[in-house]
Structure 1
């Protein structure tokens, strides 16, 4: 699975709650409304590992427990993979709040898949919708993408709401496509096309 936002699409960003110290200074390579993107690095493996053990994330994304060394190796592979771009989602004070990625990119077909994981303390604060909108703008505004896809459990109502709010359309359901905790789960399949993005009535990332 690719999306676990657990967000309220109408929640405003809270930038001054003082929850958590600002992270180390990172180079922001892309900005959205109230969020920034920093390129994911191997040294971020421990941070991602701490987010992935959260039971809500494990349920909705289906993470399999892996050692930290394996996660570091996977990030190293991702860094070298020209068909994906991985970022940490940052608050304005530099605190990392999630991981977002554009994967399985095809420059020929203009297609890619969206992945998003938010750290548990930062769900429901508007970072998910802001990060997704920013990534969509990156894909259509700077890259030659024509179609973005995303999938998540059909019972992940917050993530489904965020996808819909960002303009994604549900195209179908992959029935019994995921095994987790001895149960089969259906996956909702969503997509957003470039012409649909162009018709969205919202500021773009470069307008923020």
Structure 2
């Protein structure tokens, strides 16, 4: 069941655009560089590690404060303590799983989640947020591929859904590359920056995932 404490109703699958910062992190100033995380799932170029509501809150706060993420995903501004409290509530939600997206060397480059999991109907929603420095490098597509492999390969899911603004072309492209099909539009579904926005609804069915012509995560 989805919490009422959403951001603004415009939850996006990904804000995966190319920025001038696409040159990698400054390892000398990365406050997260000493944190050790244990990968629990892998894709072709990324791995997943469980999100820690305590140690990862500052990292998540920085990503959510990025102007592109705030605009495309529609995050409501939150203080660090408020975000940590939100992450703790998400941690206790048994209908969702949250992961950090990592490079092979352990560098965290994004957050991905499988939310609103319904094990009876076999449905869930995919959400993704990438570090600004790593957008436009195909890591977002690989992360979505890996999450769909987890959902269909290890869980009894039959349908995955993702939603985003109809104007969020990069997100729509990432989802299309991952096999998602646009199935409809929720007209004037959210308010952002004083304007109403349409929201695109996309989905990937198990039978569609089964015929995707790509290696699965366990083949990587």
Give the conservation status (yes or no) of the 8 Å contact 1:5–1:162.
no
- Which residue of the partner structure matches residue 88 of structure 1? 100
- Secondary structure of the structure 2 residue equivalent to 1:88: strand
Q: Which moved more, 1:100-109 or 1:174-183?
A: 174-183
Contact 1:3 1:60 in 2 (8 A): no
Any unmatched runs of 5+ in structure 2? Answer: 1-10
Deviation string, structure 1 residues 82-119 (Cα, Å, up to 9, x no partner): 10000000011111000000000000000000000001
> 1:35·1:90 contact (CA, 8 Å) conserved in 2?
yes
**Aligned mates of 1:6, 1:37 — CA distance in 2:** 18
User: What's the CA shift string for 1:37-66, capped at 9, x where partnerless?
Assistant: 010011211111101111111111111111
Between the aligned partners of 1:5 and 1:97, the Cα distance in structure 2 is 13
The SS at the match of 1:3 is coil
Which runs of at least 4 in structure 1 moved beyond 3 Å after TM superposition?
A: 17-20
Given the alignment, which residue of 5, 28, 50 partners 2:39? 28
1:2 and 2:12 correspond:
yes
Give the structure 2 partner of residue 79 of structure 1.
91
Alignment TM-score, normalising by the size of structure 1: 0.92
Report the Cα distance in structure 2 between the residues aligned to 1:52 and 1:104, rounded to whole angstroms. Answer: 21
Question: Deviation at 1:67?
Answer: 1.2
